């Protein structure tokens, strides 16, 4: 069982389509997050932002647009396998998707109280991390911007005692 924290996004991470292929979609981005937004509707705005962020980098595999729109500046990464900047996450995720080295199947998405969470099944084909994993990515917001990330991966071996383990 492998457990680690990163930016599934840095190690789950290790994977997204080439920056060149995503440059045109980044140029047409309809909105940017706002780190200073406050008010009674903030939680709803964060839910909308998180849903779009996840759709961009997981479903559409458009890492560059997701990061340009929702991770424009400050980004704290808690993975022991990742560097502390958003450019590292963008490169690793983009490369992983471009090399077809990562496939993410979303199980659950939740956001509230200034945080967002993704529970997913992740198939990785990366030298250090190859196999199928249950993953939880946890994000913190400032306004509607993602500013911090944790992730935990647990390898699925097929020998689990619990028939409903992980999902």
pLDDT in tens, 8-27: 333 333 333 233 334 444 44
pLDDT level of residue 126 (50, 70, 90 thresholds)? confident
pLDDT in tens, 75-111: 999 988 888 889 999 999 999 999 999 999 999 999 9
Burial of 159 (0-12, 13-18, 19+ CB in 10 A): exposed
Alpha carbons 159 and 151: distance in angstroms, whole number: 23
Any idea where the domains of the chain sit in the sequence? 19-29+41-156
Architecture per CATH, domain 19-29+41-156, reads as: Roll (3.10)
pLDDT band at 129 (very low <50, low <70, confident <90, very high): confident
Tens digit of each residue's pLDDT (9 = 90 or more) over 33-55: 999 999 999 999 999 999 999 99
* Residue 166 predicted with pLDDT over 80: yes
Whole-model pTM? 0.79
Q: Are 53 and 75 in contact (CB under 8 A)?
A: no
């Amino acid at each position: 069982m492998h457990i680690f924290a990163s930016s599934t996004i840095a190690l789950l991470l290790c994977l997204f389509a080439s920056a060149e292929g995503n440059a045109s979609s980044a140029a047409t981005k309809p909105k940017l997050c706002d780190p200073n937004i406050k008010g009674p509707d903030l939680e709803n705005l964060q839910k909308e932002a998180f849903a779009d962020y996840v759709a961009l980098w997981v479903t559409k595999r458009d890492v560059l647009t997701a990061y340009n729109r929702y991770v424009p500046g400050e980004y704290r990464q808690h993975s022991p396998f990742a560097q502390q900047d958003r450019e590292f996450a963008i490169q690793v995720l983009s490369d992983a998707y471009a090399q077809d080295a990562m496939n993410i199947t979303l199980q659950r998405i939740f956001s509230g109280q200034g945080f967002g969470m993704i529970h997913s099944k992740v198939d990785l084909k990366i030298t250090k991390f190859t196999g199928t994993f249950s993953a939880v990515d946890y994000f913190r917001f400032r306004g509607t911007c993602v500013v911090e990330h944790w992730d935990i991966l647990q390898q699925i071996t097929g020998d689990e005692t619990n028939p409903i383990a992980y999902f």
